[in-house]
């Protein structure tokens, strides 16, 4: 690992020099690429340099200890310093192992979140609304920003579908395992006989694309403008502020009516469109037969569940890792770490195992 870190340090210094090069400064795309590459390795290089400093201090204190008599008053002070340095060295090495583990390159991206009611009619739309509220609360606890792009309500006040952008460092790394079919089991308010119903909601979690990765030409877009619907008052409902973008080469359609400004709505819709195009490119690069987004959400059928929220038993079960927590109200309030942390640990361990096997 030390050799790898030394190489990272050399790369760090080279990138820092390149960022001061007038030729790079004059090229926004190249400057952004170098800046991102540098930002990726800065934490590891800082830890590596701190480790070298601690090791130098350890060498000095050990040399001092070897020259002190057992009854020397300075010996205890030197021994205490040595113990602290050894503890710090162990902490840094653990942090470095964490930093150097195989990573998903999308982990630091913002998220495009799409939630749609599946099987279950009105009850599915109500749970779709609750799931969106859950992710909204979780985003607030993480210090992330949520911007609604499009929202379609049902006749009972639930959400047929809702799209949003979640902005914040590490948003994708924490939410990517939420993608799939979420099943709910409970007695709906409209059920007079008290029977438990099972409904399903699909969740898609897409990493937001950078402008330098996905370029969308204006000639490839059809832009439709129309009056927004739903709550918002006269200023929203009587002006042509809502925007529908159709990407002609792929047929992808994105709508946004959240803002009063047509320009802002178009900009938001374009961000979602680029995220969907990035997902198609990634699926194509991985030679998959279907886009990753469709694999995430399936058809919305109850049998394709990744997680079940059972209200009568106050439990949430993640079927991928066999984890059950009896804290359903807390989870729906956005306290998701009891699920996110074990899922992250499980899939990271899988990735590291696959990487090690590939090296052998």
Are 269 and 254 a contacting pair, CB within 8 Å?
A: yes
pLDDT tens digit sequence for 41-73 = 898 899 999 999 999 999 998 888 887 777 777
Residue 253 tokens, joined: 């359609």
pLDDT tens digit sequence for 114-127 = 999 999 999 999 99
Highest mean pLDDT of the ranges 71-75, 94-98, 127-131, 204-208:
127-131
Of the candidate ranges 182-186, 189-193, 235-239, 244-248, the one whose mean pLDDT is the lowest: 235-239
Are 15 and 38 a contacting pair, CB within 8 Å?
A: yes
Q: Write down the pLDDT at residue 318.
A: 97
Question: For the chain, what is the mean pLDDT?
Answer: 85
Angstrom distance (rounded) from CA 85 to CA 67? 19
Q: Write down the pLDDT at residue 175.
A: 96
Residue 296 tokens, joined: 């995430």
Q: Write down the pLDDT at residue 285.
A: 65
Exposure on the CB side of residue 25, measured as CA atoms within 13 A: 6
- Please determine, for residue 212, whether its predicted confidence score (pLDDT) is greater than 70: no
- Please determine, for residue 232, whether its predicted confidence score (pLDDT) is greater than 50: no
Q: What is the 3-state secondary structure (H, E, C) of 185-227?
A: EECCCCCCCCCCEEEEEEEEEEECCCCCCCCCCHHHEEEEEEC
The pLDDT of 305-327, averaged and rounded, is: 96
What DSSP string describes 259-323? SS-HHHHHHHHHHHHHHHHHHHHHHHHTT-SS-HHHHHHTT--GGGEEEEEETTTTEEEETTTTE
The pLDDT of 333-350, averaged and rounded, is: 92
Helix or strand (DSSP H, E) at 169: none
Instruction: Phi first, then psi: give them for residue 122, nearest 5 degrees.
Output: -60, -35
Q: Write down the pLDDT at residue 29.
A: 83
Among 3.30.70.1660, 3.50.50.60, 2.40.30.60, 3.40.109.10, name the CATH number for the domain at 111-212+289-359.
3.30.70.1660
Q: How confident is the model at residue 106 (pLDDT cuts 50, 70, 90)?
A: confident
Angstrom distance (rounded) from CA 145 to CA 131? 17
Q: Write down the pLDDT at residue 290.
A: 44
- Please determine, for residue 196, whether its predicted confidence score (pLDDT) is greater than 80: yes
Angstrom distance (rounded) from CA 83 to CA 69? 18
pLDDT tens digit sequence for 249-259 = 999 999 998 77
Are 256 and 232 a contacting pair, CB within 8 Å?
A: no
CATH architecture assigned to 218-285: 2-Layer Sandwich (3.30)
- 240 burial level (CB within 10 Å; 0-12, 13-18, 19+): exposed
- Please determine, for residue 95, whether its predicted confidence score (pLDDT) is greater than 90: no
Angstrom distance (rounded) from CA 251 to CA 245? 10
Q: Write down the pLDDT at residue 33.
A: 84
Number of Cβ within a 10 Å radius of residue 244: 18
Q: Write down the pLDDT at residue 289.
A: 38
Of the candidate ranges 66-75, 151-160, 177-186, the one whose mean pLDDT is the lowest: 66-75
Q: Write down the pLDDT at residue 230.
A: 53
Are 145 and 83 a contacting pair, CB within 8 Å?
A: no
Are 347 and 341 a contacting pair, CB within 8 Å?
A: no
- Please determine, for residue 227, whether its predicted confidence score (pLDDT) is greater than 90: no
Exposure on the CB side of residue 122, measured as CA atoms within 13 A: 8
Q: Write down the pLDDT at residue 310.
A: 97
Q: Is 168 left (phi over 0), alpha (psi -120 to 50) or beta?
A: left
pLDDT tens digit sequence for 296-311 = 555 554 446 999 999 9
- Please determine, for residue 23, whether its predicted confidence score (pLDDT) is greater than 70: yes
The pLDDT of 80-94, averaged and rounded, is: 92
- 241 burial level (CB within 10 Å; 0-12, 13-18, 19+): buried
Q: Write down the pLDDT at residue 77.
A: 84
- Please determine, for residue 234, whether its predicted confidence score (pLDDT) is greater than 60: no
Q: Write down the pLDDT at residue 360.
A: 59
């Amino acid at each position: 690992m030390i050799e790898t870190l030394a190489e990272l340090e050399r790369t760090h210094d080279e990138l820092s020099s390149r960022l001061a090069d007038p030729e790079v400064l004059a090229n926004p795309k190249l400057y952004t690429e170098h800046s991102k590459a540098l930002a990726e390795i800065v934490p590891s290089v800082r830890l590596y340099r701190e480790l070298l400093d601690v090791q130098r201090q350890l060498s000095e204190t050990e040399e001092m200890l070897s020259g002190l008599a057992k009854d020397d008053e300075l010996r205890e002070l030197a021994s205490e310093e040595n113990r602290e340095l050894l503890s710090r060295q162990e902490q840094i090495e653990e942090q470095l192992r964490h930093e150097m583990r195989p990573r998903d390159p999308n982990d630091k991206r913002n998220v495009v979140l799409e939630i749609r009611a599946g099987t279950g009619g009105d009850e599915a739309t109500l749970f779709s609304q609750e799931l969106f509220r859950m992710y909204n609360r979780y985003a607030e606890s993480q210090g992330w920003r949520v911007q609604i792009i499009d929202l379609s309500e049902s006749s009972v006040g639930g959400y047929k579908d809702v799209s949003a952008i979640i902005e914040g460092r590490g948003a994708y790394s924490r939410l990517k395992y939420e993608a799939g079919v979420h099943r709910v089991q409970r007695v709906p308010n409209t059920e007079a006989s008290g029977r438990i119903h099972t409904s399903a909601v699909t969740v898609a979690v897409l990493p937001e694309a950078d402008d330098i990765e996905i370029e969308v030409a204006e000639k490839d877009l059809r832009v439709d403008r129309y009056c927004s619907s739903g709550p918002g008052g006269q200023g929203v409902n009587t002006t042509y502020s809502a925007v529908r973008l159709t990407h002609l080469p792929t047929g992808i359609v994105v709508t946004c009516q959240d803002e009063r400004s047509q320009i802002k709505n178009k900009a938001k819709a374009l961000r979602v469109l680029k995220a969907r195009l990035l997902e198609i490119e990634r699926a194509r690069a991985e030679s998959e037969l279907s886009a990753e987004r469709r694999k995430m959400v399936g058809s919305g059928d109850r049998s394709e569940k990744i997680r079940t929220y059972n209200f009568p038993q106050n439990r949430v079960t993640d079927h991928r890792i066999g984890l059950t927590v009896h804290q359903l109200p807390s989870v729906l309030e956005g306290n998701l770490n009891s699920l996110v942390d074990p899922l992250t640990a499980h899939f990271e361990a899988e990735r590291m195992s696959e990487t090690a096997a590939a090296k052998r």
